[in-house]
């Protein structure tokens, strides 16, 4: 059996409340023509409808809360996924910065000049330390 959504349950509760109000209006309009037993039966029916409507409203509220919890969990999951993607992108950027420094070191080594090699080595070490990846 398919479960009703919170909105469908609220709609059903509204229908019960409307029916209960119609019964009450009927009772008021016809109070002089109805017997005490008929009045009692109509009152009992209206009370039962009101009770059922209240129960359905409570159920709809619970359903809405459950739907909200699911939505909030979905938002949390999406946020966590976005944070992980940002961390991954940030790590890629850090790795690319290290690679850039390594390429600079390779170029300095190719020159064979210590005055270029030493700063390039220092640059690689500094970038690795800043990245917190290794």
Give the pLDDT score at 103: 92
Instruction: Give, in order, the Cα–Cα distances in Å from 88 to each of 1, 79, 82, 94, 95.
Output: 44, 14, 10, 10, 10
Per-residue pLDDT at 1 exceeds 60? no
Give the pLDDT score at 2: 63
Provide the pLDDT confidence category of residue 128 given band limits of 50, 70 and 90: confident
Q: What is the rounded distance in angstroms from the CA atom of residue 108 to the CA atom of residue 30?
A: 103
CA nearest neighbour of 52 among 24, 13, 22, 15: 13
Give the pLDDT score at 87: 81
Q: Is 132 left (phi over 0), alpha (psi -120 to 50) or beta?
A: left
Give the pLDDT score at 113: 85
Judge if pTM exceeds 0.85: no
């Amino acid at each position: 059996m398919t479960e009703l959504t919170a909105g469908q349950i609220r709609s059903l509760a509204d229908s019960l409340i409307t029916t209960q109000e119609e019964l009450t209006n009927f009772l008021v309009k016809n109070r002089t023509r109805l017997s005490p037993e008929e009045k009692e039966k109509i009152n009992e029916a209206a009370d039962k409808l009101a009770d059922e409507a209240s129960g359905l409203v409570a159920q709809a509220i619970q359903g809405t809360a459950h739907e909200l919890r699911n939505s909030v969990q979905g938002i949390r999951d999406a946020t966590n996924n976005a944070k992980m993607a940002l961390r991954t992108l940030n790590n890629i950027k850090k790795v690319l910065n290290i690679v850039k420094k390594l390429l600079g070191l390779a170029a300095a080594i190719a020159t064979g000049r210590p005055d270029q090699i030493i700063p390039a080595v220092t640059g690689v070490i500094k970038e690795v330390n800043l990245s917190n990846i290794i």
